[in-house]
């Protein structure tokens, strides 16, 4: 009898905290209509589900919390909006969103500070013990959850004094949570309304200043501490969660927000990729023999780094009018040889761009390295294959910096690090480096590795490092004896003993001791079962979609059935050529599903809608639509995750080309894996506000609906009972099935992103 094995098609996402928080927006948007205080903030991405969504939050930009004594967090955000009485922001609405949580309890605490008179002195504060005394670790709340405890403080005679709580017409707060195991697993939110005059204070017509401290509990004890704005506090001790504690009494650093009808004028990252050796999303490691005698590196050995940014009128996403001047800033490129946090941070430099109108993406491109002088000082981490010191990934990161008009800073930084492979089990090496400078003989600090599977049923997850109580049941022993299949997604550290990695009391947590600056390499092995939602294998011809246009050519678009309002991830492989004898450009040039820019075709009738972005930027790319006429079409490329509108039951797929020119397209076409999951349980993960009818669908985090193994790395501060996040690595599985070993789209160069 054959043993069960599972092939995993995996891509890797790697990240760590950014060095510093971005400059915040300065607008206080008017929330119309007023949010329904039910604990749901980041809900339906289209804000169209009756009774469960607040359209007001669609126009309220959110801010990412910072890790206290660390960098920007990807797992916590805060929303704010107002309603006016005359010109005064008398009614304030706030939402706190936390992702990747293990539990929700009364140890999860939010403290908010407000300066409503805008005079530089905080007027009142609120502290919420968000969850119940007994931690919630599974399921979702059926009705809005009241915080376990709420305390109102006023700053009187230079001290914070607790006040009696007013009626809920004046101050109301509700929470929600989602620990279901599906997309959005491990999320809790807190939503509130505050009537400023009702608590005896005045709201300035100019706006308000506010700040927040956030304490997220952990099953291994202690809290991770976050703040907004950056450096509001430096105190990690969760017993100092109340107002004033850890902030020097009255916090001196609150962020000012000016009242505005909407937060318009947002600079956004639209795309990011690299190109090397005629392939996208690759990084080439130059050899010494590649350099010329003068130290220069020929273009064919350079890696091209490409980004696009756009300036969006968020109040009217179709607006392409001139802005009456310029909005200048920089696209900052960095390369990070990567493990559990960057091994090196290579500053590639900045590319200036200048917006003169809304809605037109501007490219920023640079090549690196171009000389031996650039490469030699930093090549060590790129080339080091030593399992104890080397890095076998490199991450491309960009930041948008210095733009005078930029209403939402939360989308000013992004990074990519993707690897795809298929095999019976997937092994990878993760470089783990402790913060600090190495000092001989320095004592070791305690660190925690948190290993979790997202988006799979909890009953199908096994943690080999922790004792499974049901493993000794006679039936499981019998199944193992005869090689019966076990429905488990699991991961384990292959070299745990050598590194001293040991299970902690809480399931999924492992302890590790490292000295400051010490670096080790952990080898992780992933194994899984069948996909919770099967991956559909779809083929898209190079000529797909041509019959939609007039004059028609080529073939019909490919139709894929999807759940209405669900989430869809597409992973595309293969190459095509869209230029034939009847087109301009290089005949027969192959490219992948990202396509290429063909400015010479500007003004031609493309299949991709031109209402959001110029379609010539994505010539030959894989595109999608939820309407058969492609009036709402959008770019997909080699991989993408989108939310489907509530009424959509079909995803249409095609190649972006010019009307009448599809017939001479050539190549093998694109082979796709499509994973379409039902609408998510609320609350769900953050996504950007969308207008899907115009070709701007909501984009959640990559692979947000796929089985995903996430390994978090954090320092344990026992003295302060604090857990300080440092970085994480994530593996998204887009296909898994029985069969013999093999590979799909193998890793090739070990420094692929």
Confidence category of residue 487, pLDDT binned at 50, 70, 90? low
- Under DSSP, the state recorded for 460 is G
* Structural contact between residues 234 and 68, judged by C-beta atoms closer than 8 angstroms: yes
| pLDDT value at 476 more than 70 | no
pLDDT in tens, 713-725: 999 998 888 999 8
pLDDT in tens, 284-334: 888 899 999 999 999 889 988 988 888 877 656 556 778 878 889 999 998
Quote the pLDDT of residue 313. 74
Quote the pLDDT of residue 392. 57
Nearest to 708 by CA among 186, 266, 318: 186
Q: What is the CATH number of domain 266-416?
A: 2.60.40.10
| pLDDT value at 604 more than 90 | yes
Fold for the domain defined by 23-260:
Immunoglobulin-like (2.60.40)
Q: Higher model confidence: residue 516 or residue 488?
A: 516
| pLDDT value at 683 more than 50 | yes
| pLDDT value at 31 more than 50 | yes
What tokens appear for 402 in the block? 């210095």
- CATH H-level, domain 536-694: superfamily: Galactose-binding lectin (2.60.120.430)
Quote the pLDDT of residue 690. 59
d(CA 333, CA 351): 8
Quote the pLDDT of residue 391. 56
Quote the pLDDT of residue 580. 52
d(CA 320, CA 613): 10
Are both 23-260 and 266-416 of the same fold?
yes
pLDDT in tens, 540-598: 999 999 999 999 999 999 999 999 888 899 999 999 999 753 344 444 688 889 888 88
Most confident of 267-276, 367-376, 676-685: 367-376
| pLDDT value at 657 more than 80 | yes
Confidence category of residue 386, pLDDT binned at 50, 70, 90? low
| pLDDT value at 21 more than 50 | no
Quote the pLDDT of residue 330. 95
Per the DSSP assignment, residues forming a β-bridge with 538 are 672
| pLDDT value at 103 more than 80 | yes
| pLDDT value at 86 more than 80 | yes
- Average pLDDT over the chain reads 81
Q: Which helix (H) or strand (E) holds 357?
A: strand 346-357
Lowest-confidence region among 179-193, 354-368, 479-493, 610-624: 479-493
Quote the pLDDT of residue 276. 79
For residues 419-435, average pLDDT: 66
Q: Report percent pLDDT > 70 for the chain.
A: 80
Distances (CA, A) of 577 to 111, 548, 663, 669: 56, 19, 11, 9
Domain ranges (residues) in the chain: 23-260, 266-416, 536-694
pLDDT in tens, 179-208: 987 665 789 999 999 999 999 999 999 889
d(CA 558, CA 538): 8
d(CA 416, CA 433): 20
Quote the pLDDT of residue 357. 83
* Structural contact between residues 413 and 398, judged by C-beta atoms closer than 8 angstroms: yes
SS3 state at 289: helix
Nearest to 437 by CA among 330, 498, 515: 515
Phi, psi of 400 (to 5 degrees): -95, 125
Q: Higher model confidence: residue 265 or residue 575?
A: 575
CA atoms within 13 A on the CB side of 415: 25
Lowest-confidence region among 119-128, 352-361, 699-708: 699-708
For residues 616-641, average pLDDT: 92
Please indicate, yes or no, whether the overall pTM of this predicted structure exceeds 0.85.
no
| pLDDT value at 22 more than 70 | no
d(CA 562, CA 653): 12
- Under DSSP, the state recorded for 381 is H
- Tell how strand 159-163 and strand 88-98 pair up: unpaired
Quote the pLDDT of residue 292. 94
d(CA 194, CA 91): 6
């Amino acid at each position: 009898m054959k043993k069960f094995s599972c092939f995993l098609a995996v891509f890797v996402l790697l990240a760590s905290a950014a060095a510093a928080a971005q400059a915040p927006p300065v607008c206080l948007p008017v929330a119309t209509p007023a949010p329904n205080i039910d604990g749901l903030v980041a809900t339906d991405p289209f804000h169209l589900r009756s009774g469960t969504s607040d359209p007001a939050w669609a126009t309220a930009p959110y801010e990412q919390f910072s890790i206290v004594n660390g960098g920007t967090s990807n797992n916590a955000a805060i929303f704010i909006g107002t309603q006016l009485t005359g010109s005064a922001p008398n009614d304030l609405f706030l939402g706190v969103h936390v992702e990747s949580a293990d539990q929700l309890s009364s140890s999860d605490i939010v403290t908010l500070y407000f300066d409503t008179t805008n005079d530089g002195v905080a007027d009142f504060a609120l502290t919420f013990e968000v969850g119940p005394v007994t931690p919630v670790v599974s399921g979702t709340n059926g009705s809005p959850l009241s915080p376990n405890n709420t305390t109102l403080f006023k700053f009187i005679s230079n001290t914070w004094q607790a006040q009696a709580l007013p009626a809920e017409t004046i101050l109301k707060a509700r929470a929600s949570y989602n620990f279901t195991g599906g997309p959005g697993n491990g999320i809790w939110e807190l939503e509130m309304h505050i009537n400023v005059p009702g608590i005896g204070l005045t709201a300035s017509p100019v706006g308000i200043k506010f700040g927040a401290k956030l304490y997220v509990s952990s099953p291994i004890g202690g809290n991770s501490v976050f703040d907004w704005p950056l450096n509001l506090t430096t105190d990690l001790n969760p017993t100092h969660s109340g107002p004033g504690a850890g902030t020097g009494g009255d916090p001196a650093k609150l962020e000012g927000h000016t009242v505005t009808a909407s937060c318009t004028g947002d600079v956004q990252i639209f795309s990011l990729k690299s190109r090397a050796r005629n392939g996208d999303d690759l990084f080439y490691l130059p050899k010494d023999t590649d350099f010329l005698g003068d130290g220069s590196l020929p273009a064919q050995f350079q890696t091209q780094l490409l980004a696009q940014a756009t300036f969006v009128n968020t109040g009217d996403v179709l607006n392409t009018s001139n802005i009456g001047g310029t909005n200048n800033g920089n696209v900052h490129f960095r390369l990070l040889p990567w493990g559990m946090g960057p091994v090196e941070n290579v500053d590639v430099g900045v590319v200036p761009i200048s917006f003169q109108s809304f809605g037109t993406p501007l490219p920023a491109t640079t090549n690196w390295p171009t000389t031996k002088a650039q490469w030699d000082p930093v090549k060590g981490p790129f080339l080091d294959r030593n399992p104890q010191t080397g890095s076998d990934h490199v991450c491309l990161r960009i930041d948008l910096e210095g733009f005078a008009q930029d209403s939402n800073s939360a989308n000013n930084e992004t990074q990519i690090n993707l690897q795809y492979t298929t095999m019976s089990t997937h092994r990878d090496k993760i470089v783990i480096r402790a913060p600090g400078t190495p000092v001989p003989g320095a004592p070791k600090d305690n660190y925690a590795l948190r290993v979790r599977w997202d988006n799979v049923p909890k009953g199908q997850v096994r943690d080999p490092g922790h004792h499974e109580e049901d493993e000794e049941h006679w039936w499981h022993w019998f199944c193992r004896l005869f090689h019966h299949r076990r429905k488990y997604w699991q991961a384990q550290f292959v070299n745990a003993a050598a590194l001293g990695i040991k299970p902690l009391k809480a399931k999924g947590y492992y302890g590790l001791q490292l000295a400051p600056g010490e670096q080790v390499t952990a080898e992780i092995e992933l194994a899984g079962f069948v996909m919770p939602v099967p991956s559909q294998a779809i083929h898209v011809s190079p000529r797909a979609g041509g019959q939609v246009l007039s004059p028609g050519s080529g073939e019909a678009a490919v139709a894929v059935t999807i759940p209405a309002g669900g989430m869809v991830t597409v992973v595309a492989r293969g190459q095509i050529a869209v230029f034939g004898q009847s087109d301009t450009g290089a005949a027969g040039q192959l490219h992948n599903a990202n396509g290429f820019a063909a400015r010479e075709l500007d003004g031609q009738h493309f299949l991709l809608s031109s209402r959001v972005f110029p379609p010539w930027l994505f010539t030959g790319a894989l595109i999608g639509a939820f309407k058969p006429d492609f009036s709402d079409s959008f770019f997909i490329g080699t991989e993408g995750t989108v939310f489907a509108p509530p009424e959509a039951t079909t995803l249409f797929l095609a190649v972006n080309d010019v009307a009448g020119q599809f017939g001479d397209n050539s190549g093998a076409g694109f082979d796709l894996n499509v994973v379409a999951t039902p609408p998510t349980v609320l609350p769900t993960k953050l996504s950007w506000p969308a207008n899907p009818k115009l070709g701007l669908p909501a984009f959640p985090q990559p692979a947000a609906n796929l089985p995903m193994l996430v390994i978090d790395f954090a320092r344990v501060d026992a003295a302060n009972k604090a857990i300080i996040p440092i970085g994480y690595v994530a593996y998204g599985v887009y296909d898994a099935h029985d069969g013999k070993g093999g590979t799909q789209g193998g890793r090739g160069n070990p420094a692929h992103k």
